[in-house]
Amino acid sequence: MILKFIILSFYIISSVNALWPLPQYWEKGSKTLLISSDFSLKQTPETGSLLNTKTKKILESAKKRLLKFITFENYTTSPNVNPIVPKSIDKSNLLRVLIISVTTDISELELGVDESYELTIPESQIDNDPITAHLKAKTIFGVLHGLNTFSQLYYYKNSKLLLPFAPHHIKDFPRFSHRGLLLDTARNYFPVKDILKTLDVMSWNKFNVFHWHIVDATSWPVVSESFPELSNKGSYDPINMVYTKDDIKKVIEYAYLRGIRIIPEFDMPGHTHSIAESMPEIMTCIDVQPNWSNFSAEPPSGQLNPALDQTYTFLHILLPELTSYFTDKYYHAGGDEVNLHCWNTTPSITEYLNKNPNSSLETLLAKFINETHQIVRNSGKLPITWQEMIVDHNLTLKNDTLVQVWTNKDVVKNVVSKGYRVVTGSSDFWYLDCGHGGWLGNNTNGNSWCDPFKTWQKIYSYNPIDGLTDQEAELVIGGEVLLWSEQADRTNLEVLLWPRSSAAAEVLWSGPYDTSKKIRTPDRDALARLTDWRFRMVERGVNAEPLQPLWCARTGRCNMPY
């Protein structure tokens, strides 16, 4: 008897759409429509005449992608949604058209561009017309998000494409305007095609910034026309493991068509050992062994020498060239983990300090940062810096400088209290590389400072504005998940990124609060949906990790109450 009672008291798992990230506002019904085999995407005549060459190209490319999904995506494995196939198929349940309307022809994809959209899918015909969905947005970038949302609403079953829960009414907009993913392509190299695929998956998750940590101490894969030796000597392979100007252009264009900005990072003055492969004369503490740890956070050590005129001569040629390769308004100038002990043990620097009695290591650092930032500004860009410049070195930078925080919430508070805008992503929550142990070979137990692995639940629980006042929170323009690539390359890229980055994507788009202002938790609000979204990503060819046994994913009967 006891058993019977217990057996009957199982959870009722409600069928849910797998929308991920969850829209800000979503009303839905209970009717299942079918997507017609002649389903088409149209735009209003006003939209057609409004769009310019650029926005038209974005629209055509997005339409093509959606139709390709509709044609080829056989998402039969949805664990949580199992719509009933309607008995008869006729005009009363066939969705035949999605009409797109855009009200501006803004084509510049910049921080804060309007990304909102409204998607309406009725449950029945009006005046005997075919059932018609409507997508409205102020900009073409909102349209992109709307189409991606639409692409998560249907399921393939019995050779039919079912769209359950009609009518739908979705009004959606992002919580944060900077929703980024950092990929480090210097510690290990990633082929361009892997970057492009990453951009695809990012766009489905409504990320809008690819932070391209493109060079570092270990390699310099960017081909410079002014200094070809940088990559000839500093890349892992000057033929097969570099990014040419054309590669970069291709990446930017591909990202633009998907509503993603490319922000490059050329980290300086630390993390620059790869420059020493071709220009040792402007570098110092080059690959110190075995005590590199006194000179840098990781091997190989090496920093630009800020006391030499030729360092600046070099940067005045190189940085304008590099900035010209990229189209975004922002340029990440690096600035993390500068090692002052390195400079303090460099003869030419101590000599400089002796000659200039008002100078110090800190004024030298300030000089370097100010000068490089000025070059960036002269190139028409705004600089981004890592937090250290503000909180460790107490530099006073122009307050339109964007500051990226990678440690904890106290640092976020510190930086915004100084009036800077912040992009955040804590190593305790959003470092996707952690948890694979040390890679220096000096620890039999394999521990690493950034253990443990950041589970999707941990990632989902991160609040970028934790502990801030509303006023302070306004200065946090967004966040980034970060994949440093000491132990990552193309072999494990997708497994490390997905679906964990999706958890961050929802925090940045509409999380972590639900409509009743309660913090969403993994168990109550996310697991079933994320599982479903993960299966759809797999169906689209992404090696996203499974979250549960398939039995659990299908039944929801392993989800313990929190």
Site for a copy of itself in 4-23 (CB under 8 A): 6-7, 9-11
The stretch among 52-60, 85-93, 204-212, 295-303 that binds a copy of itself (CB under 8 A) is 295-303
Integer Cα distance of 478 and 421 in angstroms: 9
Q: Which residues belong to the active site? A: 337
Q: How far apart are CA 495 and CA 29, in angstroms?
A: 35
Can residue 514 be called a binding residue for a copy of itself (CB under 8 A)?
no
Q: How far from 157 is each of 74, 82, 279, CA to CA, in Å?
A: 8, 8, 61
Q: Which residue has the tokens 């797109």?
A: 100
Distance CA 370, CA 311 (A): 14
Whether omega before 174 lies within 30 degrees of 0, making that bond cis, reads no
Among 171, 233, 418, 436, binds a copy of itself (CB under 8 A): 436
Question: Looking at 440, 474, 513, 518, which residue binds a copy of itself (CB under 8 A)?
Answer: 440
| Structure-token pair, residue 80 | 């949580």
When asked if residue 487 is in the footprint of a copy of itself (CB under 8 A), the reply is yes
Beta carbon nearer to a copy of itself, 294 or 378 = 294
Q: Which is nearer to a copy of itself, 202 or 530 (CB)?
A: 530
Q: Find out whether 260 and 200 touch, Cβ atoms under 8 Å.
A: no
- Judged by CB under 8 A, which stretch of 89-97, 384-392, 447-455, 471-479 contacts a copy of itself? 447-455
Per CB under 8 A, does 2 bind a copy of itself? yes
- Assess 45 for contact with a copy of itself (CB under 8 A): no
Report the alpha-carbon distance of residue 8 to residue 11 in Å, rounded: 9
Taking residue 112's Cβ as centre, other Cβ atoms within 10 Å add up to: 8
Tokens 């955040």 found at = 424
| Per CB under 8 A, 297 contacts a copy of itself | no
- Using alpha carbons only, give the angle 340, 346, 352 rounded to the nearest 5 degrees: 90
Residues 265-284 that bind a copy of itself (CB under 8 A): 284
Closest approach, Cβ 222 to a copy of itself, in A, equals: 16
Enumerate residues 206-225 that contact a copy of itself by CB under 8 A.
217-219
Provide the greatest CA pair distance for the chain: 91
Q: Kindly tell me which of 358 and 449 has the beta carbon lying closer to a copy of itself.
A: 449
Residue 199 · residue 258 · CB < 8 Å: yes
Hey, which residues does 31 pair with through a beta bridge?
Answer: 166
Please identify which residue in 452, 469, 474, 518 interacts with a copy of itself, judged by CB under 8 A.
452
Would you say 54 or 490 has its CB closer to a copy of itself?
490
Q: Which of 385, 485, 501, 510 binds a copy of itself (CB under 8 A)?
A: 485
Min. distance of Cβ 452 from a copy of itself in angstroms? 5
Task: Give the position of tokens 């090696």.
Answer: 543
In the bound state with a copy of itself, the residue whose beta carbon lies nearer, of 184 and 388, is 184
Q: How far is the CB of 383 from a copy of itself (least distance, A)?
A: 26
Q: How far is the CB of 159 from a copy of itself (least distance, A)?
A: 15
CA trace torsion 404, 409, 413, 418 (10° rounding): -30
Cβ pair 98, 41 in contact under 8 A: yes
- The window from 119-127, 291-299, 324-332, 386-394 that contacts a copy of itself (CB under 8 A) reads 291-299
- x/- string (CB under 8 A) for a copy of itself, residues 339-378? ------xxx-------------------------------
Q: With binding defined as CB under 8 A, does residue 236 bind a copy of itself?
A: yes
What is the nearest approach in angstroms of a copy of itself to the Cβ of residue 262?
23
Residue range at the interface with a copy of itself (CB under 8 A); choices 123-131, 315-323, 409-417, 448-456: 448-456
Is residue 371 packed enough to be buried (19+ CB in 10 Å), middle (13-18) or exposed (0-12)? middle
87-126 residues in contact with a copy of itself (CB under 8 A) are: none
State which of residues 142, 269, 425, 522 lies at the interface with a copy of itself (CB under 8 A): 522
CA angle (414, 330, 51) in 5-degree steps: 130
Question: Which residue, 442, 405, 504, is CA-closest to 176?
Answer: 504
Question: Which of 88, 354, 471, 491: binder of a copy of itself (CB under 8 A)?
Answer: 491
Compute the chain's Rg from CA coordinates.
26
| CB neighbourhood size of 334 (10 A) | 26
Pick out residues in 152-191 that bind a copy of itself (CB under 8 A).
Answer: 187-189
How many residues make contact with a copy of itself (CB under 8 A)? 79
Query: For a copy of itself, which residue of 229, 486, 514, 539 counts as binding (CB under 8 A)?
Result: 486
Q: Is 13 exposed, middle or buried (0-12, 13-18, 19+ CB in 10 A)?
A: middle
- The per-residue DSSP string of 367-434 comes to HHHHHHHHHHHHTT-EEEEETHHHHTS-----TTSEEEE-S-HHHHHHHHHTT-EEEE--TTTSBTTT
By beta-carbon proximity to a copy of itself, the closer residue of 2 and 126 is: 2
Which of residues 489, 514, 539, 540 is near a copy of itself by CB under 8 A?
489
Least distance between a copy of itself and beta carbon 442 (Å)? 3
The CA-based dihedral angle spanning residues 253, 69, 542, 562, taken in that order and rounded to the nearest 10 degrees: 110
Could you tell me the smallest distance in angstroms from the CB atom of residue 370 to a copy of itself?
Answer: 27
Is 544 among the residues that bind a copy of itself (CB under 8 A)? yes
Task: Give the integer Cα–Cα distance in Å for 279 and 207.
Answer: 37
Query: Applying CB under 8 A, does 417 fall inside the site for a copy of itself?
Result: no
The Cα 407–Cα 402 span in angstroms is 16
Question: Of 458-477, which residues contact a copy of itself (CB under 8 A)?
Answer: 458, 460-461
Least CB distance to a copy of itself at residue 248 (A): 21
CB of 487 to a copy of itself, least distance (A): 6
